[in-house]
Each structure stands twice: as C-alpha cells, then as structure tokens.
Amino acid sequence: MTSIPPPQFGTDGLRGRAGDAPMDPETLRRVGAALGVLLQRGGGAQKRVLVGDDGRESAPWILEALGQGLAAAEVAVGHVGLCTTPALAWLVAREKVDAGVMISASHNPAHDNGVKIFAADGSKLRDEDEAEIAALAVQLRPADVRPARSRDRSDLLTRYVEGYAAAFPDLDLTGRKVCVDAANGGGAELAPRILRAFGADVVERNCEPDGFNINDGCGALHPEALAAAVVEHGAELGICLDGDGDRGIFVDEKGGVRDGDDVLAFFGRRLHREGRLPGARVVATVMSNLGLHKTLREAGVGVHVTPVGDRNVWLAMRELGAAVGGEQSGHVLFADHGLIGDGLYTGMRLLAAIGREPASAAFAAFRRFPQQLVNVVVARKPALETVPVIAAKAAEVERTLGQDGRLLLRYSGTEPKCRVMIEAADPALCERLCRELADVVARELGA
C-alpha cells in the first residue's frame, strides 16, 4: 500500500499548489473516499454531494480525483460547475444533500487550489470531522478507488439567483450603475447576472476566467483598478469579489475603497438604530481596526472580538445570536443569510440600505486608525514567543505603543507567512515599528 502523509486541514480546508500534496491526485482520491466513509456512517438512502469550483485550470482533474474516492464509497456527485463558495454553501443547505465540496483556493494565485468541505446545513465542516477525514485518508488503499461519476447540476444555480429575488423583494436597481470585479473567478457569471436581474446597469471588470487569470492583479486584493472604473463610469458603487466570492471589498462613488470594517461600522450603527441588533453588538476579529471599536462605541454598540477566520466569526455569531459580523478582509456574515460569507450579498445589502444616498456619505462615520500590515514569507512556523529575538522586539514595540496603539503578530493559517500588523495614532510611528519588527521576523524565520 502506498503511504501518504496525513492531509493537513488549515483554517479553510485543504490548500496548496495544485499537483503537490495535499492537492495531488492520490491524496485527493483518499480524501474523497474518506468523506464518503464518514457520510455513509449515518446510514439511510444513498448519500449525495454537490461540488463547485472557481474556474482554475486544475479544477477538472481535482474533481475527477475526488469523484473517484467518493465513488468508492457509493456517494453520488452533482457538479454545479463555476460558482462562488457562498453559492455552493447556500445550495447545499437547501437541496437536502449530505455535503458540499468547493474546489477553490479563494484569494490565492491560479497555481494553487484547495478543497473546502461543507456539512449538510451549509456550514463548514467541524474540526473533528476534518481530523477524522485526514486519519481515514491515510488508511484507505488506492485499490479501493473506482471510476468517477458526476452529474451536471449547473441548473441549480438558477435557484441561487431566485434566492436573491426572494431576499430583496422590493429592491429595484433600474437606472443605478454598479461596477463589479469578479477577480476572474467563481462570481464571473453569477455576479453580473444577479445584478442585472434587479435592473442594474452593470459595468463588468475581470469577469472572463480562463483558468489562469484568477486573482491576477484584480478582485478584492486589488480594488484600485475598479476604483478608477467607478469614477470613470459615474457608478454609485463598485463590488470587488475575491476568487471564490466569499469576500467583498467595495468602492464608493468617489473611488474610496471600503473594506469589511467599513461595512461592519455601517451596518452595526444602522441595525442598532432600527432595533435589529441583538445584544447591541457586532462580531469582529482581532484584525479589525481600533477605529471600528471607537466608531461603534460612540453609537452605543459593542464589539465581540474573535480570533482570525470567518469560521470563528460564525461560531461566535451563532453562540451570541448576533445579526452581523465579519473580518476586515471582506468576509461579512449576516444572520438572515444563513451566516454565509457572501461578497455579492453584502453588496446587495449595501445597495438596498443606502438607496439613493451617496455611498461615501453612508460610510462617513467610520474613522480608521492608521494601520500597517507586512506579510513576511517564512520557512518554518515555531511558536513566536519561543523565538527570543522576535519575542523581545515584539515586547519593545508594545511598550512603545502603550495605550495608543496595538500589535498583532501571527502566522497565516493558509500560507507560509507571518503577519505583522500595527495600529497607532501616529502613522509614521506605525510604519517604522512595523518595518522594524518585520525585519526581525525575516532574519529569524524568513524563507
């Protein structure tokens, strides 16, 4: 029996360079079979799994490998095709299937890919279930693999589009111009289609995926090009999605770029005024700007802080019964949208909420503290507090900042990077301290 290393699930499923472990055919066949075994333990009728992808060139053979493994466990596969992660999650929750698998590396470049697994209710798979899949994948034999069989279920995307009509029954975007950048990814067809269904005059950017151009200088990580297009075309809002559409970064009519903190500040204040913010609080991660806390506090709204990751936001919102939460990076979750991070849905909520008010005015209450973020590529990931030089420098930075700023030092959960983030009232101090600490991290751990 050929052995494989246990596939390591990160904060958002499996992810890596397509063709290399864990994103190689053998590992993925094992993962598919392991998922099938896990599903079959529930007994009953034949199990069904929906699969979608964000258009990367590697998606077809990844689907084939996963499908071979699922076939070994007698699990039926329906292929939705090109779609966003939130669209797949939404469909899984409503089509009474047993699980969903999204083939996507989100905001990563085209040479990467990943696998996100959803439970029957559309939520991300529990940590303990991912651990069991990883353990089973090591035990299963290649001889157990059968030919893949998948059924085309791209027709289901029409139901997702219809779901928007039900969610916004009074929204009419006739005569309103909206720019959308789908990062040449999963939302390239869905986003313009849904906006036009409401009558919007849509200006498309980066909505032509070719398998290799996803996230390439576009989308949520690079909103500057769409900002120029919004001003050029006189649009009232720009919507920037990442490759799989779960993030949304927005552009106001003046070309101002607005991230998840802007969105949380807007909806936190608005929902509180309307009496629709349970507990008078929103949920945000440690990455959110200090200005968000200040803006909401002045409006009588608190912030419940979680570790980084939309899964952590989801858990806290479910526990607290919160109406809205999210991340600065653009993941925003609404309770009345099934706690599914969906960049396009957030954009539609904004369009419905601001009406004919300029977007820049709607966002004006939020005042951001200067923030500096440096991502250092690392060769290894020891606990940062165990590296004396880094720990000493971090302590020095925190003493310098005092009560007027903060330091966040952590590893990425999906990439070989260490994130150094500093906020301070003085932008020059913020930039200097961030660079100094990033240099120390690079010397000690840099690839």
Supply the residues annotated as catalytic: 106
Tokens of 378: 């690392």
Edge-first strand listing for the sheet containing 14-17: 14-17, 112-118, 99-103, 48-53, 76-82, 150-152
Distance, in Å, from the CA atom of 210 to the CA atom of 143, rounded to the nearest integer, reads: 35
Distance, in Å, from the CA atom of 271 to the CA atom of 331, rounded to the nearest integer, reads: 18
* Distance, first Cα to last Cα, the chain: 34
Tokens of 219: 């989308």
H-helix or E-strand containing 103?
A: strand 99-103
Contact 331, 409 (CB under 8 A): no
Residues 6+ apart with CB under 8 A from 35: 49, 69, 70, 73, 75, 99, 101, 117, 133
DSSP 68: H
What is the dihedral sign for C-alpha 198, 204, 210, 211?
negative
Contact 116, 104 (CB under 8 A): yes
Distance, in Å, from the CA atom of 40 to the CA atom of 444, rounded to the nearest integer, reads: 47
> Among all chains, which residue has been given the structure tokens 């007698």?
74
Distance, in Å, from the CA atom of 363 to the CA atom of 41, rounded to the nearest integer, reads: 49
Distance, in Å, from the CA atom of 277 to the CA atom of 395, rounded to the nearest integer, reads: 37
Among the listed residues 46, 86, 12, the one whose alpha carbon sits nearest the alpha carbon of residue 347: 86
- Residue 336 has a CB neighbour count (10 Å cut-off) of 10
DSSP 82: E
Q: DSSP letters of 255-318?
A: S-EE-HHHHHHHHHHHHHHTT--GGGEEEEETTS-HHHHHHHHHTT-EEEEE-SSHHHHHHHHH
Contact 284, 303 (CB under 8 A): yes
Tokens of 110: 């085209």
